[in-house]
């Protein structure tokens, strides 16, 4: 059996070698030619698995060490017998921390104070999408004293999107990216929705690039925080460098040591289940024994860390991919 693994996924090196031939590739190395005789792929959002990549290959298992899987053509995979799994909830706490830091920075910019609890009582925070991340964000905001509004039509939770927009001072999106179906989310935050918002409402997108129409956002005059960009890594410098861009980052909201551990563990468990390898079916235990769990140091997580990330991206917008690769997990 041959397995190809994205070399930037931590806590996997050495784990699968007793059971398979394992290769570690950079994101640009996952080509049709390189993967054609592989049985399994373990990837991130940077590898797009579609007909062009997969057709005529031996791939029958794909694990993505991410919450979402809009980089995978699931329809093609289902019709061709390729099992696909993601890691829902793996980085939910990290994204919640990101939103908390973004909101804190926003309120500091308004008042100069740094405590959310002192500032929140006069603000309403709207959460669009109440899955793993959205639910955590809502609980965090309630504990800090915000009035919280929820919107999640598939779950039949909360108020209408228009009502949330009209009443919220801060709106944070935590939906998947769906272009079709009963509940499409592509450009969910569009010109029409922005017109319903309070004049200076903060818009946060730490969900998926494309959930927010960035051009409409730029023209709306609203301040914003963006971690997930439409068309990344080729991001729109006008959107990035605008004075409205309170904070920006290079798709690292979910990048924490604990989040990466959970994602790797979930991939290992799924791999063990699919291929019937008993010793890998408890991925959490396997990862806990990995030497990197003791050696990996946390990166910058001191107050103001998101401001420092934002400054680095605005100073070097052309280095989006490199900054993301070099980012030290919080």
Give φ, ψ of 41 to 5 degrees. Answer: -125, 140
Residue of 185, 227, 238, 184 lying closest to 203 (CA atoms):
227
How far lies 137's CA from each of 5, 79, 109, 129, 294, in Å?
32, 36, 21, 10, 29
Strands 170-173 and 124-128: parallel
How far lies 16's CA from each of 5, 54, 67, 146, 290, in Å?
10, 22, 22, 46, 12
Cα distance between residue 86 and residue 108, in whole Å? 36
Q: Which of 251, 262, 290, 330 is catalytic?
A: 251
Cα distance between residue 175 and residue 212, in whole Å? 11
SS3 70: coil
Q: Which of 132, 187, 232, 262 is catalytic?
A: 232
Cα distance between residue 14 and residue 249, in whole Å? 31
Cα distance between residue 150 and residue 159, in whole Å? 6
DSSP 8-state code for residue 297: P
Q: Which of 208, 262, 324, 330 is catalytic?
A: 208
How far lies 295's CA from each of 49, 150, 291, 305, 324, in Å?
32, 40, 7, 22, 21
**C-beta separation of 85 from 63 below 8 A:** yes
208 annotated active-site: yes
Residue numbers annotated as active site: 208, 232, 251
């Amino acid at each position: 059996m041959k397995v190809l693994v994205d070399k930037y996924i931590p806590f996997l090196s050495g784990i699968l070698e007793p059971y398979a031939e394992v290769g570690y590739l950079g994101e640009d190395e996952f080509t049709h030619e390189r993967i054609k005789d592989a049985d399994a792929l373990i990837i991130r959002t940077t590898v797009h698995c579609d007909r062009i990549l997969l057709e005529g290959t031996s791939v029958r298992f794909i694990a993505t060490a991410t919450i979402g899987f809009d980089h995978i053509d699931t329809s093609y995979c289902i019709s061709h017998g390729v099992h696909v799994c993601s890691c829902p909830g793996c980085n939910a706490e990290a994204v919640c921390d990101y939103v908390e830091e973004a909101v804190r920075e926003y309120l500091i910019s308004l008042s100069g104070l740094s405590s959310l609890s002192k500032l929140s009582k006069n603000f309403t925070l709207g959460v669009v999408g109440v899955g793993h991340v959205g639910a955590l964000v809502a609980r965090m905001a309630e504990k800090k004293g915000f009035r919280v509004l929820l919107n999640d039509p598939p779950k039949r939770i909360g108020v209408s999107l228009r009502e949330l927009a009209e009443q919220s001072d801060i709106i944070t999106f935590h939906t998947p990216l769906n272009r079709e179906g009963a509940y499409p989310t592509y450009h969910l935050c569009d010109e029409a929705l922005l017109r319903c918002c309070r004049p200076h409402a903060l818009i946060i997108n730490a969900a998926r690039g494309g959930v927010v129409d960035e051009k409409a956002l730029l023209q709306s005059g609203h301040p914003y925080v963006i971690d997930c960009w439409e068309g990344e890594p080729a991001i729109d410098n006008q959107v990035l460098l605008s004075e409205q861009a309170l904070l920006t980052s290079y798709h690292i909201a979910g990048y924490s040591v604990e989040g990466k551990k959970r994602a790797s563990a979930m991939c290992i468990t799924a791999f063990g289940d699919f291929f019937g390898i008993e010793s890998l079916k408890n991925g959490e235990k396997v990862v806990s024994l990995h030497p990197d769990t003791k050696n990996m140091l946390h990166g910058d997580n001191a107050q103001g860390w998101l401001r420092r990330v934002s400054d680095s991206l605005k100073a070097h917008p052309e280095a989006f991919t490199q900054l993301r690769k070099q980012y030290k997990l919080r």
